Amino acid sequence: MSVEIILLVAASALVVGHLVYRNALPKPLPGIPHKKVSAERLMGDIPDMLADVSRRKNINLWWRDHSASFNSPICQVFLGGPFSKPTVLLADYHEARDIETRRTHEFDRSSRTRDVFGPLAPSFQFVLPSGSEWKAHRALVQDVVSRQFLEAVVAPTLYQSVTRLISLWDKKIALSGGRPFTAIDDMFNVTFDAVLSFTFGSEFPHSAMEPQVKLMDEYRAIDRDNCIATEQPIDFPVARLHEELEAMQTLVGFAEGAINAGSQNLYWFFQTRSAKFSAAKKSKDTCIRAAVRRASQKRLEHLKSEVASDRSWIHSSVDYLIDRECKLAEKEGRKVDVFSSRIADELYGMVVAGHDSTSSTMCWAVKYLADNQAVQQRLRDDMRYGYRKALLEGRAPTVTEILSTNMPYTDAFMEEVLRHSTIVPFGARQATQDTIILGRKIPKGTVVLYLKNGPGILSDGYTFDTSIESETSRLDRSRIPGSADIPLEIFSPDRWIKRDAGGNITYNPNAAPVHAFGFGPRSCFGRKLAYLEFRLLLTIIVWNFELGQCATELSGYDGRYKTFLMPWKCYVRPKRVTS
């Protein structure tokens, strides 16, 4: 081969390589701020993001700070690697709310949601795009979180589950000698039991709390004399979960890894082929199939002795879903399939979403109670007045009293915890057509992440020419005032309280921006369940225990993002309420 040909081939290779390289670089969307150096490297913002996550263990802090560096409500990042599209970061509460509620024909559930959670439960409605399949799933589960079902069927079982915390903390108080202890495992276990009872009913054979209570009984016998009252926390042993419950949580751990991964697809390619993943999935599937089998048998036994329209046998979500599937199959003229992936994934999705969200919320709640003593006392005083019959009779409020009594300050505290803790620091949508956000063109297929942990929710929003936002967003901005009289940075339930001329107080749900559960048709399906669990647990804790403030080194509000934002430290120093 001649030298000329070799040189020509080499030159052509260099030209082609250069063209491929240039084409693989990020393609910034015009008019949207971005980091210029990131647009000139194949991996875009990934190196900066991974370095920050390695240091702070919370990808949401990087998103928040990256957005703030441009002093703009909108910017773009390059996190997909070579040949990928940019992701738009939106830091404006009202524009995000407008997208979720009024622009559903322009935006849908993002592919990022499916990339992170899809391998765990591919048929769970949370990861499905809007369409016929998603609507069919909603039809299957539509009444599981209805107020009637929750209050009449679910609430009594939930109440029984959450009251186990009283027994556990009584034991720990006796053992601790006044020393603080971490509440993370206790919140994890009590909320796990609560969501298991909601999903599978009282027939479910496993409990997260009972082994811990039993372990404390054994610990009492061995270590009673080793507890000295100091400021140092006491480290109680943690009971191991049953292998089927452990399997459920092991799978959640894989999703946590996907959230912080540079490439979700590559991450899942390897993890789903691991022995650990396969074993956990098999154990989880076995557990859910057994619960479905129990519910199916219960329905058959009920139909033998009662009329088909009588639904008194239904005491859980699995009971409801099996009954609903049988009726839908009859209506649609098809074979009943109670062991379908649709039912199994919906049940597991209920466990994961219902558990992690409430567990995280309660960890933040007990921190706010301990660090805001006046708020805690007012909450307890209001409860004693609202449930005064229970106080006079020397007992805790019943589940009926808790659900039927108007408690505006309880509502205010709950909403402020959800606003200030930002357990879901971001939301995501994907453009289904070419559209515009804040005057910038957004091509079809672009993923939009809107931040819930920064300006507009935890601080005043960015100032910009509001003529570039949509008209509906502008109207929403005037309806929800933002900081009003109390700065958004401050934790204050009072911002949600409205007083009339006579001094009577009411709860105002539109007093400030809060984005914990999302809005519109794709908002959190289990929102009512989450509020129910939160209310029951909060009432049980405040009614029975005073939470003392812990030392500074045991407090702090740094968080780590798992499937929801959890505090790094969550210590409590409870003592029984005596008067």
Extract the annotated binding site for heme. 524
Please list, in sequence order, all residues whose beta carbon lies within 8 angstroms of the beta carbon of residue 552, skipping any fewer than 6 positions away.
none
Strands 87-90 and 447-451: parallel
Distance of CA 22 to the CA centre of its chain: 40
User: CA 350, 353, 359: angle at the middle one, nearest 5?
Assistant: 120
CA 575/CA 416 separation, integer angstroms: 25
Please list, in sequence order, all residues whose beta carbon lies within 8 angstroms of the beta carbon of residue 118, skipping any fewer than 6 positions away.
127
3-class state of residue 578 by DSSP: coil
CA dihedral 220, 226, 231, 237 (to 10 degrees): -50
Query: What is the H or E stretch that residue 498 is in?
Result: strand 497-499
Cα–Cα distance list, 255 to 248, 267, 445, 523 (Å): 11, 10, 23, 20
Known binding-site residue numbers: 524
Going across the sheet that includes 447-451, the strands are: 74-77, 87-90, 447-451, 426-431, 107-109
Write the DSSP string, 256-302.
Answer: HHHHT-S-HHHHHHHHTTSHHHHHHHHHHHHHHHHHHHHHHHHHHHH
Q: Are 131 and 117 in contact (CB under 8 A)?
A: no
Q: Tokens 């009590």 — which residue?
A: 190
Write the DSSP string, 365-418.
Answer: HHHHHHH-HHHHHHHHHHHHHHTHHHHHTTSPPPHHHHHHS--HHHHHHHHHHH
